Amino acid sequence: MPSRRPAAALVAVLLGSGCINTNEPIGFVFQYQVRTFNCGTPCSAPGDSEITSGARGDTVWLQHTIDLIAALDSFTPQTATVRPDCAENVAVLSGTTTIRSLPTPSCADSTYRKSFQLAGIDYPQTMVVYTQWIVDSSLLPARYALRGRVLVRPRLEPTTGFDVR
């Protein structure tokens, strides 16, 4: 199995000159990555092996890892806005076209706020969410991009490649 680097997106929103949107959180650095894993035993939980491909009908677990890795003020809780587990957490892309959403949204696309506190805690502080994907049998065998969509604000949408056999 070829090795690969996990897809990651990084944002630094720092105080600076010019216009600042005061509705956006400031003074932090978040990192968000999405990776694909096999099934555990039983398949209702993720396994421990990262995978880069799967056959149609296979169950794949997508791991979303959100890290707060730095903040200007580590004593004030930093917040991120995230989607609930039942909302669209992954977009399956063919080129730039979204052909599937995972899971198929079963709740309103509402969001909730997740607080991260750094004071007295080792960096980074992490939140991990999983999305289960049963690879659609109607997908053509090809390479697809999987775009993570858990982190809403700050908006980061990392992608990783996945081959459907």
pLDDT digits (tens, 9 = 90+) for 144-162: 999 998 888 888 899 999 9
Q: Please give the pLDDT value at position 71.
A: 72
- Let me know if 4 is exposed, middle or buried by CB neighbors in 10 A (0-12, 13-18, 19+): exposed
7-164: in CATH 2.60.40.420: no
Enumerate the domain spans of the chain. Answer: 7-164
Total-model pTM? 0.76
Q: How high does pLDDT run on average in the chain?
A: 78
Q: Please give the pLDDT value at position 113.
A: 74
Q: Please give the pLDDT value at position 74.
A: 66
In whole angstroms, give the CA distance from residue 149 to residue 55.
23
Q: How far is CA 131 from CA 2, 3, 91, 150, in A?
A: 23, 22, 11, 10
Low pLDDT (below 50) residues in the chain: 1-5, 10-24
